[in-house]
Copies of this chain bind each other. A is one copy, B any other.
Amino acid sequence: MNLVQVGETIKQRRQRLDIRQNDLADLAEVGLRTLIAIENGTGNPSFETLTKIVDVLGLELNLTVKS
């Protein structure tokens, strides 16, 4: 799971939930610029920023042993 994949997952999930970037950014309490960068695989969000977005979308981050 790299930054591009994270961005794709977030974007797809947002679209499936039919939310606009602007609203997701508000709900997650992050800047629109930040959300855009993440969805596009640009940027390098902090864990906290990522968590805020992920939480709103009903997604979760996991850390497991690579199989």
Interface residues in chain A, defined as those with a beta carbon under 8 Å from any beta carbon in chain B: 1-3, 5-6, 9-10, 13, 44-48, 50-51, 54, 58-66
Rounded to whole Å, the gap between the CB of A10 and the closest CB of chain B is 8
Q: Known: A64-B62, A66-B60. Contact between A47 and B48, CB under 8 A?
A: no
| Contact between chains at B9 and A63 (CB < 8 Å) | yes
| Contact between chains at A44 and B44 (CB < 8 Å) | no
Question: Per DSSP, are chain A's interface residues mostly helix, strand or loop, or mixed?
Answer: mixed
Chain B positions within 8 Å of A51 at CB level: 2
Distance, CA A16 to CA B47, complexed state (A): 24
| Contact between chains at B65 and A1 (CB < 8 Å) | no
Rounded to whole Å, the gap between the CB of A59 and the closest CB of chain B is 6
